[in-house]
Amino acid sequence: MADVDVVVVGAGPAGSTAATVLARAGHSVILLERGPFPGSKNMYGGVVYPRILDQLHPEWWEDAPIQRWVTRRSTMVLTDDQALTVDFRSEKWGRPPYNGATAFRPDWDSWLASKAQAAGATLVCSTTATGLLRERGRVVGVTTDRPEGDLRADVVIACDGVNSFLAKDAGLYGEVDAANYTVGVKETLGLPKEVIDERFAVRGREGVDIEILGGTGGVNGGAFLYTNFDTLAVGCVLKLPALAAQELRPEAIIAGLKRHPAIAPLVEGGDVAEYSAHVIPEAGLAMMPKMTGDGILVAGDAAAMCLAAGIWLEGVNFAMASGIYAGEAAAEALAAGDPSAAGLAGYERRLEDTFVLRDHRKLRRAPGLVLSDRVQHLYPEMIANTVERMFRVDNPAPKPGLRAIFNSERKRAGIKLADLARDARDGLRSFG
């Protein structure tokens, strides 16, 4: 006999949306959270794209706890002493329905969980799910670290994050390879709001999202700088094997980034308000587990749904969407009285039909390309040098042709035309 219809493990963006959908469908739901409050264990780069919430919480922007609305989006290529920035801003992103926002996860996740509670789900914090309960090969609940902590449920939705011990326990993951993961490390720096407004040329609740290629001390990865209301988020994302294979520690890499001439004036004087880190499932489709088992669904980071595709870095939206679809599929299975993998098949169908797996399928080559040695170590210099020569006035020498500059810089960087063509093709296939 089940204690509850569904137990959702993890009150992050996937868990809370799943719990909301199920509670609204009239099911009894327990939402387990191992932290003292939702979001207390969660860290991310800093930008959330919440449009998927339109269907769940119409006009979510009225009470969503955001820091700033992203109205300026910059992509920056850094070498040791050069910086090339493509900067875009749109006033439209500063008014409903908005596009992206910087937000703190302890705020965002607590808010989303409060919506699940309002819908009727029971939130239980400070409780770690330690494993699965099984009967005849079927998942029938979870064990927790509380005394007499077994919890029986018809369906378990594992939204227990990137390390997902539950999905691994259920046998849904293949071999775990460190090469599929990056670690995100970040400093939150306190600065007066007026100073941030001035340095980043924004007003009110407008904010900036700067994604950086380079600036990671030679470790494959990327860096970022986001504006919060009266803090900045500066940090980097580092590929695990590449990080482990060299000498620089993560905090030293951030320190170097903060001293770069293009970054230093932006972050100067900021006091560290918090230092944080989190592992990211970076490899996309290539590392995803089986999403469904008998009596169990996996959603969010637990299902490796982060999209790390260079120009698009998303995760919370994928988590929220997969949570919604997991909730819908579980409700469907409960209504049909069949919580087996077959009964829960509506989950994967929904993922396949929507952006969740469509984006991942289309961009399946992107994570590998973005973190490849050529993109990481050779292209930034080639691009920056090309642009430098393009804008350099070398009088009395006449202006060289752009193609000539590009070709000589390509050769200087030691990039074979065939490799460049292959990367361009992969890039076009992914982003085109």
Partner 1 sequence: MRITVCWKWVAVDGADPDDRWAGVSPADEAALETALTLAGNGGEVTVVTVGATGSDAGLRRATAVGATHVIRVDGEGLGARDVARAIAPIARGSDYVLCGDYSLDRGTGAVPAYLAAELGAAQALGLVGVDRTRVPLRVVRRLDGGRREILDVPTPAVLSVEGAVARLRRAGLAETLSASTATIEVVAGPRPAEHDVVVTPYRPRARMLPPPSGGTLARVRDILDIGAAPAHGDAVTLDPPEAAQRIIDQLREWRYLPRDTA
Partner 2 sequence: MTWKDVVETTRETEQWPERSFEDLIGSTRFDVHERAHIVVDDTVCRDCPSRECIVACPAKLFVPTSDGGILFNYEQCFECGTCYLVCNNEGAITWTYPEGGHGVVFKLT
CB of 209 to partner 2, least distance (A): 16
Does 65 participate in binding partner 2 (rule CB under 8 A)? no
Token pair belonging to 28: 């009894």
Long-range contacts of 163-169 (CB under 8 A, 24+ apart): 163/279, 164/289, 164/298, 164/301, 164/302, 164/303, 165/130, 165/131, 166/9, 166/129, 166/131, 166/132, 166/142, 166/296, 166/298, 166/302, 167/289, 167/298, 167/302, 167/303, 169/131, 169/132
Which of 24, 28, 37, 311: binder of partner 1 (CB under 8 A)? 37
Distance separating alpha carbons of residues 141 and 133, to the nearest angstrom: 5
CB of 260 to partner 1, least distance (A): 32
Nearest to 16, CA basis, from 424, 323, 428: 323
Which of 44, 98, 173, 347: binder of partner 2 (CB under 8 A)? 44
Binding segment for partner 2 (CB under 8 A), chosen from 151-159, 261-269, 309-317, 343-351, is 261-269
Name the pairing type of β-strands 151-158 and 231-239. Answer: unpaired
Token pair belonging to 209: 């999202």
Q: Between the CA of residue 291 and those of 166, 260, 316, what are the distances in Å?
A: 12, 42, 17
DSSP output for 83-147 = EEEEEEE-GGGGSTT-SEEE--HHHHHHHHHHHHHHHTPEEE-S--EEEEEEETTEEEEEEESST
Contacting partner 1 within 99-138 (CB under 8 A): 106, 110, 122-124, 127
Does 150 participate in binding partner 2 (rule CB under 8 A)? no
Does 82 participate in binding partner 2 (rule CB under 8 A)? no
> What percentage of the chain's residues is helix, strand, coil (to nearest 5)?
40, 25, 35
Binding segment for partner 2 (CB under 8 A), chosen from 225-233, 292-300, 315-323, 348-356, is 225-233
Does 34 participate in binding partner 2 (rule CB under 8 A)? yes
DSSP code of residue 303: G
CB of 205 to partner 1, least distance (A): 20
Closer residue to partner 2, CB minimum distance, 79 or 292? 79
CB of 124 to partner 1, least distance (A): 6
Site string for partner 1, 213-252 (x = CB under 8 A): ----------------------------------------
Does 355 participate in binding partner 1 (rule CB under 8 A)? no
Q: Between the CA of residue 236 and those of 108, 304, 331, what are the distances in Å?
A: 21, 19, 39
Does 233 participate in binding partner 2 (rule CB under 8 A)? yes
Contact 270, 260 (CB under 8 A): no
Name the pairing type of β-strands 312-314 and 307-309. Answer: antiparallel
Q: Pick from partner 1, partner 2, none: which does 30 bind, CB < 5 to 8 A by kind?
A: partner 1
Which of 2, 83, 119, 125: binder of partner 2 (CB under 8 A)? 125
Which of 121, 151, 232, 302: binder of partner 1 (CB under 8 A)? 151
Does 1 participate in binding partner 1 (rule CB under 8 A)? no
Residue located via tokens 């973005």: 370
Which of 92, 95, 203, 249: binder of partner 2 (CB under 8 A)? 249
Which of 118, 201, 277, 336: binder of partner 2 (CB under 8 A)? 277
Token pair belonging to 370: 């973005």
CB of 3 to partner 1, least distance (A): 9
Distance separating alpha carbons of residues 123 and 116, to the nearest angstrom: 8
Q: Is the dihedral of CA 200, 202, 205, 210 positive or negative?
A: negative
Does 68 participate in binding partner 2 (rule CB under 8 A)? no
Interacting residue ranges for partner 1, rule: CB under 8 A: 30, 36-37, 40, 106, 110, 122-124, 127, 144-151
Interacting residue ranges for partner 2, rule: CB under 8 A: 34-36, 39-44, 46, 81, 104-106, 125-128, 130, 144-146, 162-163, 165, 176, 178, 181, 183, 185-188, 228, 231, 233, 240-241, 243-251, 259, 261, 264, 268, 272-279
